[in-house]
Chain A
Amino acid sequence: MKKRLTISSLLLSTALFFSASAFAETLRIGVEGAYPPFSQVDKDGKLSGFDIDMANALCKEMGVECKLIKQDWDGIIPALIAKKYDAIIASMSITEERKEKVDFTNHYYKSPARFIHKKGADHEISQAGLKGKSVGVQRGTVSDKFITGTFGEGVDIKRYGTQEEAYLDLNAGRLDFVFADAFVLLEFIGSDNGKDYEFIGDSYTDPKYFGDGIGIAVRKGDTELAKKFNMALENMRKSSYDKVREKYFDFDVFGE
């Protein structure tokens, strides 16, 4: 009798445990953590940045509890598909190629891509000017695709796992240029390591490569979650969006 009681109470407690976790709706969000100022890991190991603040603000707007999961860029889409988390908020550009693997919400900011080089260096941004020059990009980003697809052949494209590794090689003098998101580069040239570098050339926004801005990725077919995010985004635009934005940029980043 006693034994049966323990077993049944055990069963009961497990049942309670499972139902409790089902009720407390936690949304797992994949973030990158190596893409300042959008996503970075602080000295004390905490995540911070525009993406992180956006994620937290959106979760607050939706009234759900969120768990942020750090994931390297290379595996960020596969891990979403493998259900390691339910959404990606990692400054991901909305592109046709990615749409084949994941669904996107509306954009939460827009951003052009630009070149930086050493201050005063004699460079020209053109097919001929870039010939034989080394350009560092983060592997698999829209910047990578743009350079590969447009300036292509003659350029020595070096691809890095993280943006920070590209900066290391720029500092070491192994690279003539780094090509990346303008906001990200802005942060770098404003920092101590990047003070010797400056922007050069135009801002690139070609939708063929850069898509329709930066959105939140969800698993294919997860329209309900995408809808929730869109609604939260719309509400945030009327309220807390600018407060989050002001912390990082003193100009509009939402676009139209």
Chain B
Amino acid sequence: MDFSIVLDNLPLLFKGLGLTLQLLIISLVLGFILSIPLAIMAASKLKWARIPAKIFIYVFRGTPLLIQIFIIYYGFSQFEWLRESPLWIIFKEAYWCAIIAFALNTAAYTAEIFRGAFLQTPKGEIEAAVAYGMSRWDQYRHIIFPSAFRRSIPMYGNEVIFMLHATVLAGVITLVDLFGAAKILNSRYYAPFESFISVGLFYLTITFTIVFIFKLLEGHFLKHLKR
């Protein structure tokens, strides 16, 4: 075993780390924004709102992320009309294809978390809101959202960690994220153990940080549930 190859290539690994974090944060932000209307639609009693949201969630939760990435990156590029449209500026870049796939995927999972949390809102709270004469929007803003988002924190923390681990799939479409960097190291030195154990440590460290952040969030927002 020879860990000097890892030390010699630390700049490559740190560049990979930067890309991994970028992919993770941008797709989480986009996915989160998208997931709120999706969750409201999926929890709605109105058929025309509920069914499209449910289909979206079903499709993105029902297919492997790797396949979603391959369809977006290699599949879409097969169509000439897309290659000649202005959209191609986005789809040409592996970076944006990865972000689109990750964002849509996490949006589906996150929407499902929020939908569950919305539906768990105690009936009495909503009845009280109605009694106060709150509109549907006011009910969401003052009653449903605050308690549902609090309830979702532990599950959402899980989703963030899953997304971190899902970013390795960027490595299959030419991006040099942490995993992509490890693959370059491996192919250069034929040292799979050293290459992958070192990026494994990077992922462990990031996961640890995420867990820590969510612990703080839970401590702050779920204080009233502490025993």
**Which A residues are closer than 8 A to B by beta carbons?**
74-75, 77-78, 97-98, 100-101, 139-140, 144-145, 158-161, 165, 168-169, 171-174
State how many angstroms separate the Cβ of A140 from the closest Cβ of chain B.
Answer: 3
Chief secondary structure at chain B's binding surface = helix
Instruction: Give A144 to B187 CA distance when docked, in angstroms.
Output: 10
Of the candidates A74, A169, A171, A174, the one whose C-beta lies within 8 Å of that of B187 is A74
State how many angstroms separate the Cβ of B47 from the closest Cβ of chain A.
Answer: 39
Of the candidates A144, A158, A173, the one whose C-beta lies within 8 Å of that of B83 is A173
**Which B residues are closer than 8 A to A by beta carbons?**
74, 77-78, 83, 88, 92, 94, 172, 174, 176, 183-184, 186-190, 192
Contact B77 A174 (CB under 8 A): yes
Residue numbers in A under 8 Å from B94 (CB-CB): 174
Instruction: Give A100 to B77 CA distance when docked, in angstroms.
Output: 40
State how many angstroms separate the Cβ of B70 from the closest Cβ of chain A.
Answer: 10
Contact B192 A75 (CB under 8 A): yes
Contact A98 B190 (CB under 8 A): yes
Instruction: Give A159 to B16 CA distance when docked, in angstroms.
Output: 14
Of the candidates B92, B183, B184, B186, the one whose C-beta lies within 8 Å of that of A174 is B92
Contact A74 B83 (CB under 8 A): no
25 inter-chain pairs at a CB distance below 8 angstroms, sorted by A residue, are A74-B186, A75-B192, A78-B190, A97-B189, A139-B183, A139-B184, A139-B187, A140-B186, A140-B188, A145-B188, A159-B176, A159-B184, A160-B174, A161-B172, A168-B77, A169-B74, A169-B77, A171-B77, A171-B78, A172-B74, A172-B77, A172-B92, A173-B77, A174-B77, A174-B92
Smallest CB gap from B88: residue in A: A173
State how many angstroms separate the Cβ of B195 from the closest Cβ of chain A.
Answer: 11
